[in-house]
Structure 1
């Protein structure tokens, strides 16, 4: 009943906007000289169309917005976008409550992918990949499944980042910046013609260093220091000898050295938000290098056809080190070395007729990942497993003993043994290569039935081959309890020591190579009705998909298969433009039904005895409303409101010692409400100002039982940002601030340690820019 009411409220918002769109505006409200809004062209659906002609819910951040709001990285874009949120620190994001990796711990494929100039960025690069916004032309965030056009890893949506392309005219810009946390950077970009009107280039460079805000009192270093460098080159070829041909080649190199993926602060120290410290003695670092090369080709074939294609290659090298015990003792530590190489090719044929518009395409990609890890890990002693084994042994070896007697003796002995060996230290290594090959045929288009009504349809036939294996070693790295210290129970100590050794050895067994293949047909069907050239509505139904795969059970050293999961997405959209006011008012309302959800289950041997099963189902619904207006050539404002509600319908786990019922609980990092508001103004004397704010309601940080989630919360927060300064045609000087009100909030609190991931404090800075 609640679901229907909330869905009704979403549709109600859509209906209100539709009603206002169709009502006649009073003449007195319109200014004498209407101001047009900036034309925004969306390219992420494989065809260039205005945002008003795009029925998918898409939020676009333009180069103008990036500059005026001092947006420095992708997560600044996330913060200002309706129905988006950071997850576990700046390691990932959610779209409509669905995380880009997973919502229930299961599955290895992603649920949303970021594309940079046509190249897909692996999930592991979301923390330190090429996501800085210097010299970026546009960011498009598609909310809702994009499986028809984007394929693998697009069940939640897709993010399209487009860097600035070369132009036939000379232009350069340079920026120097300094901010809180001893943050300093220098950046430049520019280019022009090599051969007039035929060959042009553009280069971009940025170097940034920061001390951060978290000081390590044990190692006497800054734990979240940052050192990053980016260089990118692009060529644009439009030869006169080949009319209608265009080629864009891009190469980029990114290096980032920083703190570990999750850099915690102690919460048991005075004034811990303003004076952030950590006490780890082992390094917490991430070194990520990303190289990308793309080639985009386009050839116009007459007036209606365009043949285009893109080939991409990327390589991500990741080295991470972490302190597992989060303290000054050397109890637990580890690291990962990964190399992920991805190559893809796509060719498309677009048709642009009077009534029929659409495209067909072929896609192929390979992703070759080599993942190595090593750690010294303290495994919590599996008491329940020990008691079960001892009870069975006593029942089989002691004549006349009853079950209650055997359980009593087993519990008494377990207490004594675990007092001597509370955790099992394991020296562990793993080498887990994975190869994913994907091939797809896709199509998407619209047919104009009448001047107002168009039918929308599309599909994707997707085939995937997934090969994975694992070679593990595990060695007991502690000291076994001495049997002599247990008196008459000495024989049982020998038995349990052997049990511990066999459990560790089991984790070190090699796993055979496993290959699985998947096929999926993903349809899309809908209709769009245009009331006028400026007002339209649509309804679309489409299927979303995430492939199955194999997961490594660390404790048992096995590779476990699991199947795909699917969604059906039902979506209403409204697009309106009011030229007399220079105003756009757009809205989308959606409902998603999710089945065969990939869920991570514990089998009971120990805390690492996990595997993935298709054991869940859920639903979600909500809406987005987005407004933008140019009041004049000097002033403009925007606002967006997002609502989402997620709920597990079936997540009742009874497997081994894992007994959970998550039915009725919500997805992690799925805030019910997001809101943003901003505006800018330019005075005729050159002074400029921008002020913006974004709000995110509280969100649960883990997928747990409904009654347990209240203790696992990311705080609600409101961030106010601003940029003020003076600019002329050639130069500008600015002061800026992030989180101007110094909002204090936590992204995640560890239940086992007095540490948390804290939101960024107030940041104040200055920047100088020149352009010519």
Structure 2
């Protein structure tokens, strides 16, 4: 059970290695630099983690894990998971808005593209042991964080919810029985303002303590909308978190926690990037369609950051909940119970035609989600045996009330221009689909892991998980014409088709892992792991593809579970009295029945549906290094090579350059106007979307003693760089949607003084690199490619204090 002194260890940590660190590097006699990640540490400088549900030093944990402490997060401006990717090369995060967010580790986790409510994520997000089922939770600001642990590879035998790709384990600062306070204020260009504060103190000495934390972040948008005279794609985040710790007895702690997060920016615009030739007739491709309206975007260069979207943008969401955590020291171990309730409210507005034309005038999928979780586990040791075992229950309800409406330009844009219907705006003007989408999910599991210390050096660690999942859903799309009629023509049905179906899925599965580790020396650990993982089957809740008669294909209502075979070997080492840490991991993962989000060539498909790819493989090597040559200088470098591919996916949807043509026995060359398109494409051997083969993070910090006026302290210079090579931004790789590799550089210069003061200036994306976060195609395959330019260079200053 945690003690007061243990909870206060983070206060010992001064200079943080700016970014990743996975082991303490400093000598015990230099407490001003206890660790490189300012995470809790032993007196010898080793970082303590709870990744395996017990407190242990990270270099003795036989799995690939990175630890980032709160001070490192603050120093590098890493206030959400998106920023975390710049210091975690194996982590991929892409978001066109909070609901449509992809979070992957080593290329696996959730399908790339628009979110489908009926599928589960493969990367678990845990905050103080509470599972967050919505990836949208990762778009909020970190609030009063002690450390973030990024675990790579399957974690189902240790964590409540099955996590086949990995887990992000976030630990907030706990209430303290010694009064303390922290505050931070930042200002920057683009009207950037960020404020953070926390206070903790005892209410009843040695028995009851509280902690209250809050954060506010706002920033003007980076894209100017000439239609509304507003900047869009800004930030408007607010978060508050409260905790109450009751030390009931010397062996029992109870922690009641609650949090509320609100986000309400004018977001999220995707704007004109380029056009590419498809198989559609020329009069149905972008250039001819735009010419028919005498339309041109405000700029043909996306990095002018201009748009003319004519639908109001909104990305309002609320996330919050409450939890009760009990930790009871019983016998040789600790019994932990975590009861939690969480909610997610999503209220969006999008311009899904991506143009300043009234094609799609309404596109929104407001959602309300509720989840309940209960986890009970016991972890302890007896002789040469360490063990953890637990039970987990999860229940989720979700309702989405989607709506889409077409405008007066829809007929000409979406229908065959040579037809009479295309010349009549009333055919599609006002055509509307109102969707009622419901989901109920129940998941139950028993899991456990045993560590057997065969000798003082050799450990064997088997784990097992039994899981039951049940999902039921309902999808009802009611389509009405502009006059309110439900009687539709073939043209209208081809754009927005009424659908009604009720998918169901339930299954048991058994998964497990086995790890062997061996200490060659006290500072050199070898390990090898095999894991068999399962990811629950899914149900399609974004509408089904249609057959030739414009009827939903019901066989596509469900997707099979994923089966994963994972092999990993690693080396963890420390040298020169822990001043140098070198860790290496090599992995190979095969995923059978990979759950992919795909699209088809139909005009009205705005959201993807789910399908199973036969086999996907991701394999690679990761290197992590951290060094402290002196008390003044700390360095780090992390690199990742990831080869993530479809091994077998022969009936995949085609990329845009092969779509939109007529059917026939022999397909035309890609980009042949009026050509023949294949019914499906074999994309076996192609890259998985969103994964760079090469990625890296590197940097360091140099400090030296100095004084300002009467203040003695240390001046410091911090440098943080990152690199990602080219990656695909489309489920079926396209010549039009590859994103070129890019390198980023962040700088900071500051002065630390007193017991906890820090004043510094910072520049992020210092070289003002232009790059895209995502690229996407327009519905209907006109050849339009839209994208989301990443943030330009930003700069500002921060003042921080702790007492």
- TM-score when scaled to structure 2? 0.80
Task: Map 1:328-339; keep pairs closer than 5 Å.
Answer: 328-332=356-360, 333-339=362-368
Shift of 1:185: 2.4
Query: Relative to structure 1, is the Cα distance of residues 271 and 165 closer, same or farther in structure 2, using a 3 angstrom cutoff?
Result: farther
Per-residue deviation at 1:634? Answer: 3.6
Check whether the contact 2:689–2:728 (CA below 8 A) recurs between aligned residues.
Answer: yes
Q: What's 2:591 paired with? A: 594
User: Displacement of 1:580 after TM fit?
Assistant: 2.1
Of 723, 737, 760, 1:712 maps to 737
The residue that corresponds to 1:643 in the other structure is 641
Question: Does 2:229 match 1:220?
Answer: yes
**Structure 1 contact 382–605 (Cα < 8 Å) conserved:** no
Q: 8 Å contact 1:263–1:284 — kept in the other structure? A: no
Tell me if the contact between 1:92 and 1:126 (Cα under 8 Å) persists in the aligned partners: no
Secondary structure, aligned partner of 2:85? helix
Native 8 Å contact 2:534 2:563 kept in 1: yes
Partner of 2:72: 65
- Residues 720 and 600 (structure 1 numbering): CA distance in 2 closer, same or farther, change over 3 Å? closer
In 1, Cα distance between equivalents of 2:683 and 2:375: 41
Unaligned 5+ runs, structure 2: 1-25, 36-44, 275-296, 654-662, 664-677, 707-712, 778-782
CA distance in 1, matches of 2:28, 2:369: 58
Change (3 A) 1:343 1:579: farther
**Equivalent residues of 1:87, 1:99 under 8 A apart:** no
Deviations 1:495-542 (A, max 9, x none): x9843356678x32432x443211110011121111122211111100
Give the Cα–Cα distance (whole angstroms) in 1 for the partners of residues 598 and 273 of structure 2: 30
- The answer to whether the 8 Å contact 2:27/2:579 transfers is no
**Aligned counterpart for 1:325 among listed residues 350, 353, 368:** 353
2:112/2:731 contact within 8 Å kept: no
Please tell me whether the aligned partners of residues 105 and 599 of structure 1 are also in contact (alpha carbons under 8 angstroms).
Answer: no
Equivalent position SS for 1:197:
coil
- CA drift of 1:186 comes to 2.2
The correspondence for 1:567, drawn from 559, 564, 571, is 564
2:795 aligned residue:
764
Contact 2:96-2:788 at 8 Å conserved across structures: yes
Structure 1: tracts of 5 or more residues without a match: 1-29, 387-412, 481-495
SS in 2 for 1:744: coil
* Residue 739 of structure 2 corresponds to residue 749 of structure 1: no
Q: Distance in 1 between matches of 2:599 and 2:234?
A: 36
Residue 319 to residue 440, structure 1, CA distance change in 2 (3 Å): same
Partners of 2:203 and 2:317 in 1: CA distance? 33
Q: How does 1:102-181 map to 2 (within 5 A)?
A: 102=112, 108-123=119-134, 125-126=136-137, 128=139, 131-150=140-159, 152=161, 154-181=163-190
1:434 maps onto 2:434 in alignment: no
Question: Would the aligned equivalents of 2:81 and 2:138 in 1 still touch at CA under 8 Å?
Answer: no
Mapping of residues 240-251 of structure 1, within 5 Å:
242-251=249-258
Kept in 2, the 8 Å contact 1:282–1:323? The answer is yes
Deviates more, 1:458-467 or 1:370-379: 370-379
CA offsets 1:380-419 (integer angstroms, 9 cap, x no match):
99999x9xxxxxxxxxxxxxxxxxxxxxxxxxx9954565
Distance in 1 separating the partners of 2:685 and 2:303: 37
Q: Give the stretch that moved more between structures: 465-474 or 140-149.
A: 140-149
Distance 2:572 2:514 in 1: 19
CA contact (8 A) 2:271 2:302 kept: no
The reply to whether residue 625 of structure 1 matches residue 635 of structure 2 is no
Aligned match for 2:701, one of 661, 680, 700: 680
Contact 2:495–2:604 (Cα < 8 Å) also in 1: no
Separation of aligned partners in 2, 1:472 and 1:270? 36
Aligned to 1:74: 81
- Contact preservation (8 Å) 1:744, 1:761: yes
Is 1:658 the counterpart of 2:679 in the alignment? yes
**TM-score, reference length from structure 1:** 0.83
Contact residue 665 and residue 703 of structure 1 kept, 8 A: no
Which of residues 47, 53, 75 in structure 2 aligns to 1:46?
53
| 1:275 CA drift (Å) | 3.8
Deviation per CA, 1:292-347, whole angstroms, max 9, x where unpaired? Answer: 21222111113x22111211111011100011222333221311211111110100
Q: Specify the alignment match of 1:465 in structure 2.
A: 470
Question: Radius of gyration: which is bigger?
Answer: 1
**Post-superposition offset of 1:120:** 2.5
In the aligned structure 1, how far is the partner of 2:347 from the partner of 2:419? 41
Q: Tell me the alpha carbon deviations over residues 196-246 of structure 1, each in whole angstroms, 9 at most, x when there is no partner.
A: 22221111112222112111110111212322211111122223xx22212
State the 1:603 CA deviation.
7.6
Residue 600 to residue 721, structure 1, CA distance change in 2 (3 Å): closer
Given the alignment of the two structures, is residue 344 of structure 1 paired with residue 373 of structure 2, yes or no?
A: yes
Q: Which residue of 2 aligns with 1:445?
A: 450
1:659 aligned counterpart, secondary structure:
coil
More helix by share: 1
CA distance in 1, matches of 2:269, 2:170: 25
Q: Measure how far apart 1:475 and its partner are.
A: 1.8
* Distance of aligned partners of 1:626 and 1:603 in 2 relative to their CA distance in 1, 3 Å threshold: closer
User: How far apart are residue 441 of structure 1 and its match?
Assistant: 0.4
3-state SS of 1:80 partner: coil
CA distance in 1, matches of 2:798, 2:413: 58
Deviation at 1:36, TM superposition (A): 6.2
Counterpart in 2 of 1:96? 106
Q: Does 1:576 align with 2:579?
A: no
CA distance in 2, matches of 1:668, 1:610: 14
| Structure 1 residue 596: Cα displacement | 1.8
| Farther off after superposition, 549-558 or 563-572 | 549-558
Residue 21 of structure 1: aligned partner: none
Q: For the structure 1 residues 540 and 654, does the alpha-carbon distance in structure 2 shift closer, same or farther, using more than 3 Å as the test?
A: closer
Alignment match, 2:491: 500
Please tell me whether the aligned partners of residues 215 and 221 of structure 1 are also in contact (alpha carbons under 8 angstroms).
yes
Note the C-alpha offset of 1:260.
3.0
Q: Distance in 1 between matches of 2:371 and 2:504?
A: 19
> For the Cα contact (< 8 Å) 2:156–2:512, is it kept in 1?
no
Distance 1:173 1:383, change over 3 A: closer
2:748 is equivalent to residue 723 of structure 1: yes
Number of residues paired by the alignment? 691
Is 2:696–2:724's contact at 8 Å kept on the other side of the alignment? yes
Map 1:507-522 to 2 at 5 A.
Answer: 507-511=497-501, 513-522=502-511
Residue pair 1:231, 1:252 contacting (<8 A) in 2 also:
yes
Residues 470 and 532 of structure 1, relative CA distance in 2, 3 Å threshold: same
Deviation, structure 1 residue 472: 1.8
Residues 211 and 226 in structure 1, CA contact (< 8 A), matched pair in contact too: yes
**Distance in 1 between the 2:378 and 2:392 partners?**
12
Distance 1:421 1:219, change over 3 A: same
Aligned mates of 1:175, 1:245 — CA distance in 2: 34
> In the superposition, relative to structure 1, how do residues 502 and 720 fare at CA in structure 2: closer, same or farther (>3 Å)?
closer
User: What's the secondary structure of 2:366's corresponding residue?
Assistant: strand
How far apart are the structure 2 equivalents of 1:337 and 1:498? 28
SS at 1:52's partner residue? helix
Q: Is the 8 A contact 1:601 1:653 kept in 2?
A: no
1:151·1:460 contact (CA, 8 Å) conserved in 2? no
User: Are 2:754 and 1:733 aligned?
Assistant: no
Would you say the 8 A contact 1:78–1:93 is kept in 2?
no
Question: What is the deviation of 1:371?
Answer: 1.0
Contact 1:476 1:504 in 2 (8 A): no
